[in-house]
Structure 1
Amino acid sequence: MEVLGDFNQGDETKRNAHWRSFTVPNGEGSTEEVEGWLLTPDGEGPHPLLVEMHGGPHSYIMVDPNVHEHWDPLLEAGWAILALNTVGSSSYSEEFGSRLIGRWGELDLPQYLSAIDQLKQEGTVSDEVVCFGHSYGGFLAAWALGEPGPWKAGIVSAGVINQISHEGTSDSGYYVGSYAMGREPSEGWELHTRLSPLSRASRITVPTLILQGSDDHRCPVGQGEELHAALVRAGKARSRLIVYPGGSHHVSSTGKPSQRKDYYERLIAWTASMG
């Protein structure tokens, strides 16, 4: 675990940001290095941790105030933040990015879990861990909550929840879905079902906040509604679904100011209180 670099923006933000490298499982019985940002508040650890999962999945973590307005308030409140470029992220190699095809959640979640364990062992973070993600990150957050892990709560923002319904309703589903799954729907839905957080929603037991724009064409509102309905039926986790009228897939960054304010206030409050 090497500290590759850092930037600090002064005491007024309580931000200490470090570019970190972690040795994690590669899903093939060996290990590899992944990189990302670790932000910590002032003071000694261990700190509670928010794990931020990026979109795409062929995207990468950026330090962008437009989509990370929750970072500084959480740092001020004593939280650490981990944002990784796990397998599937772009800008590393074609092989690294494409290896996640047909393996959503199965390859990248273990890398997050390994990094969290390493941070716990070094005394940086505590057992209070919350996951948050938007778009593909929303998929991965929902997937993670249905798997054994350290989660005390989760926030799912505009995620892919049901690969089958997403394939037929998303403005990108008719081609992105088949590419992401590595097969056409006509070749069978077994993989689409297995790689849907909806299929494991009954395993979720921690408080789950679902944030969704009503006019999201990329990950339509039905995705969030399906997850919320499944959680309510299962009765094992407190679930709250917030739908922003007229909100697009980017309601948190380009939506109405009142909706953006509400979005981040809910995200921060849900994290800080762990649901």
Structure 2
Amino acid sequence: MVAAHDGRPEYLGAVGEELWWTAPRPAEAGRRALLRLRPGAQEPESVLPPPWNVRSRVLEYGGLPWAGIARDAGGPLVVFVDFADQRLYAVEPDAPGGPRPRPLTPDAGGPDRLRWCDPVIRAEAGEVWCVLEEFGAGHPADPEDVRRLPVAVPLDGGAAGDRAAVRALDGPRHRFVTGPRPSPDGRRAVWLAWDHPRMPWDGTEVEIAEVAPGPEPVFTNVRTLAGGPDESVAQAEWAPDGSLLVATDRTGWWNVHRLDPGTGHAVNLCPRPEEFADALWRVGSRWFAPLDDGTIAVTHGRGSARLGVLDPATGHLADAPGPWTEWQPCLAVRGTRVTGIAAGPDRGHEIVRLDTATGHCHAVAAHYRDPAGAAFHAPPRRRVFEGPGGREVHALIHAPHHPEVTGPEGAAPPFVIWAHGGPTSRWSEALDLEVSFFTSRGIGVARVDYGGSTGYGRAYRDRLRERWGVVDVEDCAAVARALAAEGGADPAALAIRGGSAGGWTAAASLADPATSGLYACAAISYPVLDLAAWGPGTTHDFESRYPETLIGPRDAVGDRYRERSPVHRAHGITAPFLLLQGLDDPICPPAQAEALVAAVAGRDVPHTYLTFPGEGHGFRRADTVRTALEAELALYLATFPGTAARAQDQGRRATGPAAHPNGADAGAG
């Protein structure tokens, strides 16, 4: 069930009265399908057949991969990025003979030269504004040789065979940019920019320009309007009345401000100790959206993202009714309607619409249909634990639960600590079948928002500055120890798991002397493990200087990069572990995982190393997801005291490879 339902709808938008979005297809090699819901239709239709895969690789994590406009005749016009070659295409789905995508950008011979994202169709000018990510001839040998620009691509296909037909709207002033957004009168454009070593949640600039009129509009008088090294602006958006709105953390929280386009003077429209935005991992994320009546649809909360409607004149904020507590940053507005992708503790992601005139909120598409049944899920309890020095540590706790089976009387259950990736990210309250996979088998799950997580203000986020591998490890351990001390978890059956940056935390927790013996085992997926060999030239450009915030300036504290890395502390690892790695991962390449395998070679440390050809950073194919979960369950059954016998007695089904002592590579894939 987990494998078949892996992924969620993404990148929702309105095209006239229609709703469009991308949807996962795990059984179709993990592609992203482009779906369309016509007015009055009960079910969406897929616009493009396999193998079309609507997904951008800009910054490797991708960004908004499509845009569309309604037309008076001929149906909508849509542009999209195809994952295989990263070219930008145009398609007219209602054209006679059906959709026939035509390329708008050059064939660069593969996805490692030219990439595009965050498009806006400018029909009056016959072009698409978007972000171009262009690598030099040395890529992928030199991922540092890159520039990113706001550009205009002609809609007539003139650039499909001529790179020179792509017009730069501004020069390479900054290393990173979002797509430019035109003002309602078309006279101005605004976008975000930042530079190494900052990440966008550290500091960004709001860039504004005049748009010179003509058949080929150009940007003039480009200037920085707001932001800076210590102010993160996560979104900039024009309201219908021409005012400029931004989500900035200048108060310590990402709040929505009105920004004067001339002076940069900012007014906080709803001063609250809550987040109205989150980390900008994907270009084109939209946490708020202005409506025609002057109100603003916003996502907001502490540790969650509810939908509300903000009246900027009074600061009044009214939340949408219903069970949806997590809204994705892709709000689409049309008249009085706000539509988004939302989920809750008792339901997965679905397309939900709020009518601000009536207050009615309901699911309109991608309706979540629970494949297991509510009785098999363990709703989360939001808790705050005490970390070192009395600091708060937030977590979502899922106790083991099954409608027909209970654990042995008086026995505390096993528990697995989940460390999220990022690390500048957080856990969602949305129902997760992967959690239920374990809780329904008697294994508790604690999803920890350790210091450095988003959702709790800038000060909480900044706890990880130069303390990665310390604060995250301590906070996860604080939750594990507290659960055991309360009698809610078996102290002999604690584990830790994580992917990407969470894999770093899991591995560091095994290697750290302060947490030695706390965890019986660990499940580590596509991890960062050796910072000395992970940085400029060895990973993707977006995160290549990330450690300068998380660890410190490399030239000043270079020894710290080695001292914190699990690979160089592997002598402290004695607990069994499972290591899962995609062989096509450009973010955390297989060399990271292979270094850990080599570091424990010849030692009596039971471990399994599974590799997956064709998988990148995060697993998308159904067979990969299933193999990974079965291997993780097998690790716990082999490691937790009495778990295997208990599972057998209860008639539970648990299949998959057993842990391979001393590092046999099962070669999955």
Same fold flag (TM > 0.5): yes
Relative to 1, partners in 2 of residues 1:63 and 1:227: Cα closer, same or farther, differing over 3 Å?
Answer: farther
2:420 aligned to 49, 54, 58, which one? Answer: 54
| Contact kept? 2:581, 2:610, Cα under 8 Å | yes
Q: Distance in 1 between matches of 2:567 and 2:414?
A: 28
1:99 correspondence with 2:463: yes
Higher mean C-alpha deviation, range 56-65 or range 241-250 = 56-65
1:74 correspondence with 2:444: no
SS in 1 for 2:616: coil
Q: Distance in 1 between matches of 2:618 and 2:636?
A: 21
Q: Distance in 2 between matches of 1:64 and 1:169?
A: 34
| Contact kept? 1:231, 1:239, Cα under 8 Å | no
Q: Distance in 2 between matches of 1:257 and 1:16?
A: 25
Deviations 1:225-268 (A, max 9, x none): 101111114x03112111100210012xxx22211221222122
| Contact kept? 1:74, 1:272, Cα under 8 Å | no
SS in 1 for 2:445: strand
Higher mean C-alpha deviation, range 34-43 or range 215-224 = 34-43
Corresponding residue number in structure 1 for 2:206: none
How do 1:161-180 and structure 2 match up within 5 A?
Answer: 161-167=529-535, 168-171=537-540, 172-180=542-550
Corresponding residue number in structure 2 for 1:198: 567
Q: Distance in 2 between matches of 1:108 and 1:12?
A: 33
TM-score (norm 1): 0.87
Deviations 1:83-122 (A, max 9, x none): 1111010121212212212211212222222222221122
2:386 aligned to 20, 23, 27, which one? Answer: 23
Corresponding residue number in structure 1 for 2:393: 34
| Contact kept? 1:212, 1:242, Cα under 8 Å | yes
SS in 2 for 1:175: coil
Amino acid at match of 1:241: Y
SS in 2 for 1:97: helix
| Contact kept? 2:415, 2:490, Cα under 8 Å | yes
Q: Distance in 2 between matches of 1:85 and 1:194?
A: 24
Q: Distance in 2 between matches of 1:91 and 1:7?
A: 17
Please, which runs of 5 or more residues in structure 2 have no aligned partner? 1-343, 348-372, 640-658, 660-669
Corresponding residue number in structure 2 for 1:241: 609
Amino acid at match of 2:608: R
1:265 correspondence with 2:630: yes
Q: Distance in 2 between matches of 1:205 and 1:34?
A: 27
Corresponding residue number in structure 1 for 2:91: none
- CA shift, 1:157, in A, is 0.7
Relative to 1, partners in 2 of residues 1:175 and 1:119: Cα closer, same or farther, differing over 3 Å?
Answer: same
Q: Distance in 1 between matches of 2:555 and 2:475?
A: 32
Corresponding residue number in structure 2 for 1:146: 511
- CA shift, 1:271, in A, is 2.4
Amino acid at match of 1:244: F
Corresponding residue number in structure 2 for 1:182: 552
- CA shift, 1:69, in A, is 4.2
- CA shift, 1:11, in A, is 5.9
TM-score (norm 2): 0.37
| Contact kept? 1:40, 1:80, Cα under 8 Å | yes
Deviations 1:29-52 (A, max 9, x none): x21222111101234651101110
Structure whose alpha-carbon radius of gyration is higher: 2
Higher mean C-alpha deviation, range 13-22 or range 85-94 = 13-22
- CA shift, 1:152, in A, is 0.9
SS in 1 for 2:391: strand
Corresponding residue number in structure 2 for 1:217: 586
Deviations 1:53-78 (A, max 9, x none): 1111110012456xx54321211211
Q: Distance in 2 between matches of 1:141 and 1:166?
A: 17
Amino acid at match of 1:178: E
- CA shift, 1:222, in A, is 0.6
Amino acid at match of 1:195: R
| Contact kept? 1:70, 1:267, Cα under 8 Å | no
Amino acid at match of 1:203: G
1:230 correspondence with 2:599: yes
Corresponding residue number in structure 2 for 1:114: 478
Q: Distance in 2 between matches of 1:188 and 1:176?
A: 14
Please, which runs of 5 or more residues in structure 1 have no aligned partner? 1-5
Task: Give the structure with the higher percent helix.
Answer: 1
Q: Distance in 1 between matches of 2:613 and 2:583?
A: 5
Corresponding residue number in structure 2 for 1:134: 499
Relative to 1, partners in 2 of residues 1:63 and 1:273: Cα closer, same or farther, differing over 3 Å?
Answer: farther
| Contact kept? 2:579, 2:608, Cα under 8 Å | yes
Q: Distance in 2 between matches of 1:260 and 1:19?
A: 27
Aligned residues: percent identity? 25
SS in 1 for 2:464: coil
Amino acid at match of 1:140: T
| Contact kept? 1:166, 1:220, Cα under 8 Å | no
- CA shift, 1:7, in A, is 5.4
Q: Distance in 1 between matches of 2:438 and 2:463?
A: 33
Amino acid at match of 1:182: G
Q: Distance in 1 between matches of 2:380 and 2:456?
A: 21
Amino acid at match of 1:33: E
Q: Distance in 1 between matches of 2:436 and 2:345?
A: 14
Q: Distance in 1 between matches of 2:576 and 2:434?
A: 19
Q: Distance in 2 between matches of 1:64 and 1:231?
A: 37
Corresponding residue number in structure 2 for 1:3: none
Higher mean C-alpha deviation, range 193-202 or range 131-140 = 193-202
Higher mean C-alpha deviation, range 255-264 or range 191-200 = 255-264
- CA shift, 1:188, in A, is 4.8
Amino acid at match of 1:41: P
Q: Distance in 1 between matches of 2:621 and 2:552?
A: 37
Q: Distance in 1 between matches of 2:488 and 2:623?
A: 35
